[in-house]
Structure 1
Amino acid sequence: MALLGCSARDSQRAEDGREQLVGLRADDLRLCAGVPNLTAQSAGGDFWTYDRSPPASGVSAPVPVIGGSLSVSAGSTCRVTFQLVDQRVTRVGYAAASDLPLSQNAACAPVVQGCLRLVQDGAVRRE
């Protein structure tokens, strides 16, 4: 149950990033998210992609009848892509996979949460 709560919270953080990180400068994005795993350019702008595979979490409980254990784990992966035009974030896209319900983009939270914190604290400005 706690795993689902944390996962839902992280998924919401990722969704907050879709709105709150638009306008962030490229240098600020590098500062808070790090160096992207992949970059590409097109007529639509620059695209910076971050891939994350956080460690799976879960619980194990003994099952006496079988003599083994029952394991419930949450594995997930995330790819976050930022579109930048004129060195500013214009869009944030997620491609995520999760084993838990209501946590579609939860694995993406670590990529954006540092940036969200800087924006919310006023340490960086969006324009």
Structure 2
Amino acid sequence: MTVPPRLLLLLLLPFLPTCSARDSAMAEDGRERLVGLRADDLRLCAGVPNLTASSAGGDFWTYDRTPPAAGVSAPVPVIGGSLSVAAGSTCRVTFQLVDGKVTRIGYSAESALPLSQNAACAPVVQGCLRLVDQSQVTRE
């Protein structure tokens, strides 16, 4: 049995905001739970940053992420053309480190879906949160 594309789109639409909201909540959780993470542990779980900078306020490690577009891309006929439903977003996560420990995390994200402002940032902090939950790294 094949499912017509329009029906498939209608069936999947309710789940798009749910996933984005979950990822956005994960990013916000990371903003609090990763404070105190040591620099070596941050490198272990988030990888090597795209950019680094230093100032009197500490070191700043920046990660840029453009995850693959989430959602369904299926043409839906409308008067005068078609509509494609897909969600894409980008994120820049900046960790401030003082004395080798994370003190603050800032997000600069752009999202195509409402209620998902920082959803694209979740992959950057997800691995770190997992290691914290498994007690493989500690916050100081």
Give the alignment's TM-score, normalised by structure 2: 0.85
Partner of 1:41: 54
Runs of 4+ in 1 over 3 A off after TM superposition: none
Contact 1:22 1:90 in 2 (8 A): yes
Contact 1:58 1:71 in 2 (8 A): no
Cα RMSD (Å): 1.3
Shift in CA distance, 47/65, structure 1 to aligned 2, threshold 3 Å: closer
Deviations 1:55-109 (A, max 9, x none): 112321442866x643111110000000000000000000000010000000000
Q: Determine whether 1:13 maps to 2:26.
A: yes
Give the alignment's TM-score, normalised by structure 1: 0.94
Distance of 1:122 and 1:69 partners within structure 2: 50
Provide the identity percentage.
77
Q: In the comparison of the two structures, how many residue pairs are matched?
A: 126
Q: Determine whether 1:99 maps to 2:112.
A: yes
| From 62, 69, 77, the counterpart of 1:63 | 77
Aligned-pair distance for 1:121?
A: 1.1
For 1:63, the aligned partner's letter is: P
Structure 1: unaligned runs, 5 residues or longer: none
For 1:18, the aligned partner's letter is: R
Partner of 2:98: 85
Aligned-pair distance for 1:6?
A: 0.3
Partner of 2:8: none
